[in-house]
Structure 1
Amino acid sequence: MLHLPADQGVIIGRLFSRETFSAIEEMTAAEAARLVDSGGAALIKDYWGAYVAVHQSDDVGGYSIIRAPSGFLPCYQVETHAHHIWASDLHTLSAAGIAVSKVDWERLYEHLQWPDVRRRHSCIDGVSELAPGSARTVSGHEAGDRMLWEPWIFVHPNMAIDPDQAVTRLRDTVFASVSALASDYQNIIVGVSGGLDSSIVCAALTRGGHRFSCLTMATTDASGDERRYAASVAAVAGVPLAAHQYAVDNIDLSRSSAAHLPRPVGRPFLQELDRAYAAEICKTGADAIFTGNGGDNVFCFLHSAAPVVDRFRQEKGLKPAWNTLLDMCRVTQCDIPTMARAAFKLSRTRPSLVASEPDLTLLNAACAVLAQSAPLTPYMDRGAGRFPGKLAHVRLLQRIQNFVEGQDRTTFPPMVPVLLAQPIVETCLRISSWQWCEGGINRSVARRAFGGFLPRQVVHRTSKAGPDSVTAAAFESGRPKLRELLLDGLLRQNRIIDPVAVEQALSSARTSRDQLLYRILDLADAEAWARSWSAGSSDSALGR
């Protein structure tokens, strides 16, 4: 914790210099005054990290609370008639005597209807969240929010990084950011999938001379076995690799891996990942988990004609746009006429500022939420200008927000999705959307930036396997349990699901072979999550 001079406030978490990437252990009186006088804007501009800051405001007795744009450190709020109470997790609120266990069924329905959009209000009654990159000023009983950081600042053409410098700028920024975040830890476990993003994390840790080991998960069949790729990454880094196999029999569908969070954002296979991490932490004494989660989002992994339109509008020429069209045909395996029609249609269409389309699959349509509550980050309210590729990039960043928080901190050390660090995100936003697909390969800038630090077979991979076979097996073997959970559960009692549609899906042999099984498992996780909170339900919260 960093105390500001003259008792002006505190910064909880870790803070780094924007210029040098070194950790900030103290601030001068002038630096603190600049922070306070700017209402927190100077904190966002001159520093970065995983922090929540609290400082005095101009009002007598008032204060402002600021959350870092990365969102690495959560910040939840409960309001009572007399207090504004802040905490990084709900366990801390409960330990302080704040009753936070009543499910907000309307917000839960909204979460399931728009699962890609994180909302300001959580699915626990009375618990809201301070948006990353925002400040809330509290004076008496009044409170107001301001966004101090928004992606649109960095997507403007005037902010674009010179294409000749993009590779070097990205590489330098990733190396410096990951090394800074690692400086707090002595022994890191990196979850590696054998894909590009987690491999880049390993390259950055190796370059910084940090101690770490790797962990990878494999299915019993070849479809999700990435061990040879993960082994090549560990070998180049010169670090040990622990390989664990998913065990379907260990997956308990009545337990949510997100039971410690105020939203049901878990997945059944994550139970096995948690088990593997716990085993390796016990064995190695690791004090942090680093992941490449969000790499696809940060490195602008698009499957549309949007980069073609962006390039045509920014460079004002058919030849550059034609080159990008050919690149996107290779990325998407699409033919030229189809991509050209898509680009023409997109160029004639006003960009949609809707963050996500609603998904009513298996839900009770009669209870659908018609008016959405406020998103956690209101980026779409500000518009996207003329560049649909940049709009899509921002939307990707918004959609990863539900997966930034890690495991239960009462059991696990910090989990850090390091590629979402503020300097990395800002650098990537300043790289034009068409550069990410140059050469007809996705995440092209990242591949060129780190090609000399990774195994060749990893650099040139354009797709990777996952735990799909485990998920399908868990669904198939768990049909009876899923039927009990969903047809005799809280989601049905609270009119969230359509029981007839759920019964039909559970009875169909086709379900285990299509995308519907993922929807059923998401609903089952929401049911397990709701039961875990409802077991200790209370209708009141500290004097409310």
Structure 2
Amino acid sequence: MTNLRYLLIIFRDETSRHDKIAEILNRTGLAASHSAGPITAVVSDPRWLLALPLGIAVGTLFPRRGPGRAIDHDDAHLLADIQRYGESALLDHYWGNYVVALQTSGRVYIQPDPTGTMPSYFVDHGSFVAFSSDPALLQDAGLLDVAIDWEGLSKYLYFADLPIQQTALDGLSRVLAGSAVIVTPNGLRVEECWSPWEFVDRAPSDRPEQYAERLERTVSTCVTALSSPHSSLLLAVSGGLDSSIIAASLSARSEKACLTVATDDPSGDERYYARALCEWLETKLLEDFYSIDDIDLRRSCVAHKPYPCGRSQSLAYNAAVRRAVTATGSKAVLTGNGGDNVFFHSQSARPIIDRFQAEGLSLGMLRTLSEICSLTGCSAFVSADGRWR
């Protein structure tokens, strides 16, 4: 949602900490730093830096129950709760877009939020381990010598969108969604700390409307909370289901505008639906077009990521978003991206894996295989191959 950049550095040897942090601040021009024990955080915006008694949080943390407001330095009882119960309190009582580092029992526990919304990459230099929002910041800080990891690159090209810890840059790893890193004086290890299976209801209710009510309440609470720190919003809409749900959840916000981007071909022109949505919401709608002039095939739309992904047409879409942000002065951009995986149009073979793990080789699994083939237009062989990979 915002361009927050951070470095979290865990020092195993603190003798050179002062000089190293001074060098990083000078090289990167980042705005603020804070230290707690062996942990030092350097951030682009001090508003997103939260000091804990024996740790540091970067980003936004929300209580799982109560008002949808990010906790701050005035919430002393909540900060003490996080420190007292450690990582268990984070997962059980809080959520948000964050990465937290806690010092506990001679180790440092680093956990990005389980959704993976807050990127986290790391390099181990022996005397310290550095975590960052993006590889370019590590390079600017002098903490990453950029070289291609050909094995990592080949894995990404083969496994496509399946997440792996190794990146395509030598020495750089990423913390996967649902994982945490434990840094000790002698090394580090990565552990799974969260799984969506913990939230799967294996005894469905006889009243499906209960799930609809819970889903509506959860989405509304999350959208309201995540947008609350920002004074003005830009929402990318198509008039389809996903972005319309986000827009409806923001209906009470007056300081917002919507953007839809169309193609010259009618099949890619959703302005009619976006106009109907914004008319109902009484919200300003900006309309733009994909332009070939915004696409330079010599540039990657994911040059900021340490692995190959993305599509070249994203350059045109991103250019349209930047123009809209400039025109409206918006402080954050929201989209309905990811909704396809929740509500309707998944291109993944993972539902086949889920069905197989739940039922084994069954008629139900074969039905799911058939449905994935119908949805994606691929053959059963291709779909099954994607599943096993």
- Please report the TM-score for the alignment, with normalisation by the length of structure 2: 0.74
Is the alpha carbon distance of 1:162 and 1:302 closer, same or farther for their aligned partners in structure 2, counting shifts above 3 Å? farther
- Answer yes or no: is 1:222 the counterpart of 2:249: no
Structure 2 counterpart of 1:402: none
Query: 1:158 deviation in Å?
Result: 4.5
- Answer yes or no: is 1:290 the counterpart of 2:338: no
Is the alpha carbon distance of 1:302 and 1:252 closer, same or farther for their aligned partners in structure 2, counting shifts above 3 Å? closer
AA in 2 matched with 1:244: D
Q: Within 2, Cα distance between the matches of 1:231 and 1:115?
A: 36
AA in 1 matched with 2:326: C
Uncovered stretches (5+) of structure 1, i.e. residues with no partner: 315-320, 334-341, 343-351, 359-544
* Of 139, 150, 168, the match for 1:94: 139
Is the alpha carbon distance of 1:134 and 1:76 closer, same or farther for their aligned partners in structure 2, counting shifts above 3 Å? same
Query: 1:30 deviation in Å?
Result: 6.2
- Answer yes or no: is 1:44 the counterpart of 2:91: yes
Query: 1:99 deviation in Å?
Result: 2.8
* Of 308, 318, 321, the match for 1:274: 318
Q: Is the 8 A contact 2:182 2:189 kept in 1?
A: yes
* Deviation digits for residues 399-430 of structure 1 (CA, Å, limit 9, x no counterpart): xxxxxxxxxxxxxxxxxxxxxxxxxxxxxxxx
Larger CA deviation: 143-152 vs 172-181: 143-152
- Answer yes or no: is 1:186 the counterpart of 2:234: no
Q: Within 2, Cα distance between the matches of 1:205 and 1:161?
A: 31
Name the count of aligned residue pairs: 319
AA in 1 matched with 2:298: S
* Of 147, 151, 171, the match for 1:106: 151
- Answer yes or no: is 1:129 the counterpart of 2:129: no
Query: 1:75 deviation in Å?
Result: 0.9
AA in 2 matched with 1:295: G
Q: Is the 8 A contact 2:52 2:83 kept in 1?
A: no
Structure 1 counterpart of 2:30: none
Q: Is the 8 A contact 2:152 2:166 kept in 1?
A: yes
Structure 2 counterpart of 1:35: 82
Q: Which has the higher strand share?
A: 2
Q: Within 1, Cα distance between the matches of 2:279 and 2:387?
A: 41
Structure 1 counterpart of 2:249: 204
Structure 2 counterpart of 1:15: 61
Query: 1:126 deviation in Å?
Result: 1.0
Q: Within 1, Cα distance between the matches of 2:73 and 2:207?
A: 35
Is the alpha carbon distance of 1:243 and 1:302 closer, same or farther for their aligned partners in structure 2, counting shifts above 3 Å? closer
Q: Is the 8 A contact 2:163 2:176 kept in 1?
A: no
Q: Within 2, Cα distance between the matches of 1:95 and 1:238?
A: 44
Query: 1:285 deviation in Å?
Result: 0.9
Query: 1:300 deviation in Å?
Result: 5.7
* Deviation digits for residues 275-324 of structure 1 (CA, Å, limit 9, x no counterpart): 111111111111111010000112365699x79x98xx99xxxxxx9xxx
* Of 96, 102, 108, the match for 1:55: 102
Matching of residues 489-504 of structure 1 within 5 Å: none
Q: Which runs of 4+ in 1 moved over 3 A?
A: 26-39, 158-162, 300-304, 354-358
> Secondary structure of the equivalent of 1:78?
strand
How many percent of aligned residue pairs carry the same amino acid?
35
Query: 1:81 deviation in Å?
Result: 2.8
Q: Is the 8 A contact 2:122 2:132 kept in 1?
A: yes
Is the alpha carbon distance of 1:63 and 1:17 closer, same or farther for their aligned partners in structure 2, counting shifts above 3 Å? same
Is the alpha carbon distance of 1:246 and 1:75 closer, same or farther for their aligned partners in structure 2, counting shifts above 3 Å? same
Query: 1:140 deviation in Å?
Result: 0.8
Is the alpha carbon distance of 1:78 and 1:160 closer, same or farther for their aligned partners in structure 2, counting shifts above 3 Å? farther
Query: 1:248 deviation in Å?
Result: 2.3
> Secondary structure of the equivalent of 1:263?
coil
Is the alpha carbon distance of 1:263 and 1:160 closer, same or farther for their aligned partners in structure 2, counting shifts above 3 Å? farther
Is the alpha carbon distance of 1:54 and 1:293 closer, same or farther for their aligned partners in structure 2, counting shifts above 3 Å? same
* Deviation digits for residues 316-372 of structure 1 (CA, Å, limit 9, x no counterpart): xxxxx9xxx9xx99xx69xxxxxxxx9xxxxxxxxx9x97455xxxxxxxxxxxxxx
Is the alpha carbon distance of 1:146 and 1:279 closer, same or farther for their aligned partners in structure 2, counting shifts above 3 Å? same
- Please report the TM-score for the alignment, with normalisation by the length of structure 1: 0.54
Q: Within 2, Cα distance between the matches of 1:210 and 1:182?
A: 12
Q: Within 2, Cα distance between the matches of 1:104 and 1:259?
A: 16
RMSD between superposed Cα atoms in Å: 3.0
- The higher radius of gyration belongs to 1
Query: 1:216 deviation in Å?
Result: 1.1
> Secondary structure of the equivalent of 2:229?
coil
Q: Is the 8 A contact 2:70 2:229 kept in 1?
A: no
Answer 1 or 2: higher relative contact order, Cα 8 Å, separation at least 6.
Answer: 1
Structure 2 counterpart of 1:2: 50
Is the alpha carbon distance of 1:113 and 1:152 closer, same or farther for their aligned partners in structure 2, counting shifts above 3 Å? same
Q: Within 2, Cα distance between the matches of 1:150 and 1:38?
A: 20
Q: Within 2, Cα distance between the matches of 1:194 and 1:214?
A: 10
* Deviation digits for residues 202-242 of structure 1 (CA, Å, limit 9, x no counterpart): 11111x42521111111112121111111111111111111
Is the alpha carbon distance of 1:209 and 1:29 closer, same or farther for their aligned partners in structure 2, counting shifts above 3 Å? closer
Q: Within 1, Cα distance between the matches of 2:345 and 2:196?
A: 17
Q: Within 2, Cα distance between the matches of 1:36 and 1:355?
A: 43
Matching of residues 122-201 of structure 1 within 5 Å: 122-158=167-203, 162-201=207-246
Is the alpha carbon distance of 1:197 and 1:250 closer, same or farther for their aligned partners in structure 2, counting shifts above 3 Å? same
AA in 2 matched with 1:50: N
Q: Within 1, Cα distance between the matches of 2:293 and 2:179?
A: 43
AA in 2 matched with 1:136: V
* Deviation digits for residues 152-194 of structure 1 (CA, Å, limit 9, x no counterpart): 1111414869523111111111111101111011111111122
Structure 2 counterpart of 1:442: none
Q: Is the 8 A contact 1:192 1:214 kept in 2?
A: yes
Is the alpha carbon distance of 1:53 and 1:271 closer, same or farther for their aligned partners in structure 2, counting shifts above 3 Å? same
* Deviation digits for residues 58-96 of structure 1 (CA, Å, limit 9, x no counterpart): 01xx21111111222111101123221111112221221
Structure 2 counterpart of 1:24: 71
Uncovered stretches (5+) of structure 2, i.e. residues with no partner: 1-48
